[in-house]
């Protein structure tokens, strides 16, 4: 069991650093419209594992009627932060803000058991450090090329490694990285100058997505700037409650793209884009960065959001593909971007788009949720794969790296020969005349 720390032993359960906003949670009228949209409630059936129940727990702690106990932490951490409740809420409750704030309170005022604490630290420190990620992916590429991965998976030895073994099941083929130039010139009439966020997981595990995004932007009249000094945007830390570290990365990201003098900051990972569009909230108490964060957030665009705002440039070749589209939670609910990826796919000659039932139901990735809560995440994934099978699609299109890893894992588990591609990869394939081969 975890232990509370001395900082929260006063009359109220939350400390003074970014507590959940009282005005936000008091907007909740407990109507229950969110319940049918909440993945954890639909799978677990527990009142404390839906937004209404979690708000009740937050309010009880905030008013000093309860404390940050093991049970409180469990219910907060079981939330996937998909924000589907925000889409459904008639009162407009910004549940994502208060959930991230509640996790920040947990991070400061609760002590995880040693084993859990070490695992969480390993995950968050590794996936937000570009140096560690470079070393890790180099070793994993070596592991794959030597055939050790095939041997480990066929032998069943990974089952002895617990959650690390389950992490390995998510590992995609790691291609050799190609360094992109710092500036890619626009083709044809110039529409603007944009900065491209490389991301962390995307940069190292799916570099082909960044390459495709840069080519598509250039093809459509944008000069693409790829600052070499960019680091993690901090989104993963914000989602998991490490708000102060997340703020540090946010400030660095703002600095980097301000120096680049761009019209827009383009993101092709839904979770990163969602937090970057909300830097204004994260840094609203920072006297130095508050106004800069507001200006920055207004410039952030998902790649499909920017590309779909005008007619596509260039010649699109025919791709005879039957595809379905999975709505990444932080794109559909966090950023309210739904139509734009579909518009792009429908514009490609030969592409048949089949709508996916429950397209915005969480696949279980949710940042690192599938690593921290693998059993519950698997239930979400099984439901997602069942819906995908119903479409008869050859390709699932997803605009978030975590979703890509998770869905690919589920497809492999069921022996389904279905690709998972980013919208920018499909569009780039139309410009090239073929989709990229399986790595």
Task: Render each residue's pLDDT in the chain as its tens digit; 439 residues.
Answer: 555 443 443 346 899 999 999 999 899 999 999 999 999 999 999 999 999 999 999 999 999 999 999 999 999 999 999 999 999 999 999 999 999 999 999 999 999 999 999 999 999 999 999 999 999 888 888 888 888 878 888 887 777 677 777 777 777 888 887 789 999 999 999 999 999 999 999 999 999 999 999 999 999 999 999 999 999 999 999 999 999 999 999 999 999 999 999 999 999 999 999 999 999 999 999 999 999 999 999 999 999 999 999 889 888 999 999 999 999 999 999 999 999 999 999 999 999 999 999 999 999 999 899 999 999 999 999 999 999 999 999 999 999 999 999 999 999 999 999 999 999 999 999 999 988 777 6
CA distance 439 to 423: 17
Residue 337 phi, psi dihedral angles, 5° rounding: -105, 105
Residue-level pLDDT at 153? 80
Which domains can be identified in the chain, with CATH numbers?
3-111 (1.10.1060.10), 321-432 (3.40.50.1860)
Find the helix or strand (DSSP H, E) in which 139 lies.
helix 130-145
Judge contact between 369 and 240, C-beta under 8 A. Answer: no
Which DSSP string corresponds to 228-272? TT----SHHHHHTT-HHHHHHHHHHHHHHHHHHT-SEEEE-SHHH
Beta-carbon count within 10 A of 288 CB? 9
Pairing of strands 264-267, 222-225: unpaired
* SS3 labels along 314-360: CCCCCCCEEEEECCCHHHHHHCCCCHHHHHHHHHCCCEEEECCCCCC
Instruction: Name the DSSP class of 299.
Output: H
- Tokens at 429, concatenated: 């394939």
Residue 184 phi, psi dihedral angles, 5° rounding: -115, 120
CA distance 396 to 414: 15
Q: Helix 51-62 crosses helix 70-77 at what angle (to 10 degrees)?
A: 140
Q: Say if residue 314 is exposed, middle or buried (CB neighbours under 10 Å; 0-12, 13-18, 19+).
A: middle
């Amino acid at each position: 069991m975890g232990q509370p720390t001395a900082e929260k032993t006063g009359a109220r359960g939350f400390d003074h650093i970014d507590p959940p906003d009282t005005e936000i949670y008091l907007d909740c009228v407990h109507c229950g419209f969110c319940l049918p949209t909440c993945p954890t409630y639909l799978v677990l059936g527990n009142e404390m594992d839906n937004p209404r129940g979690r708000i009740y727990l937050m309010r009880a702690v905030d008013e000093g009627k309860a404390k940050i106990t093991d049970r409180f932490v469990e219910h907060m951490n079981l939330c996937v932060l998909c924000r589907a409740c925000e889409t459904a809420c008639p009162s407009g409750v910004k549940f994502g803000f208060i959930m991230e704030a509640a996790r920040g309170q947990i991070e400061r005022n609760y002590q995880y058991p040693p084993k859990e604490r070490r695992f969480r630290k390993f995950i968050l420190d590794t996936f937000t450090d570009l140096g560690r990620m470079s070393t890790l992916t180099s070793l994993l590429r070596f592991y794959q090329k030597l055939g050790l991965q095939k041997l480990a998976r066929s032998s069943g030895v990974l089952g002895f490694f617990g959650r690390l073994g389950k992490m390995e099941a998510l590992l995609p083929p790691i291609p050799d990285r190609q360094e992109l130039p710092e500036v890619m010139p626009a083709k044809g009439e110039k529409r603007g100058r944009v900065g491209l966020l490389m991301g962390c997981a995307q940069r190292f595990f799916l570099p082909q997505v960044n390459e495709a995004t840069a080519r598509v932007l250039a093809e459509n009249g944008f000069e693409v700037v790829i600052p070499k000094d960019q680091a993690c945007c901090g989104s993963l830390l914000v989602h998991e409650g490490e708000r102060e570290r997340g703020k540090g990365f946010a400030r660095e990201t703002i600095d980097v793209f301000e120096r680049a003098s761009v019209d827009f900051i383009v993101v092709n990972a839904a979770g990163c884009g969602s937090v970057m569009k909300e830097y204004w909230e994260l840094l609203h108490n920072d006297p130095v960065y508050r106004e800069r964060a507001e200006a920055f957030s207004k410039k952030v665009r998902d790649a499909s959001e920017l590309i779909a705002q005008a007619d596509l440039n260039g010649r699109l070749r025919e791709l005879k593909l039957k595809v379905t589209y999975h709505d990444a939670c932080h794109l559909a609910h966090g950023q309210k971007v739904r139509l734009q990826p579909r518009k792009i796919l429908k514009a490609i000659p030969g592409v048949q788009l089949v709508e996916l039932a429950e397209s915005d139901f969480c696949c279980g990735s949710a940042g690192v949720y599938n690593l921290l809560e693998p059993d519950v995440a698997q239930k979400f994934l099984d439901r997602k794969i069942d819906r995908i099978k119903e479409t008869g699609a050859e390709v699932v299109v997803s605009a978030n790296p975590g979703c890509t890893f998770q869905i690919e894992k589920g497809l492999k588990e069921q022996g389904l020969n279905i690709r998972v591609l980013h919208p920018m990869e499909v569009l780039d394939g139309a410009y090239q005349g073929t989709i990229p081969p399986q790595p």
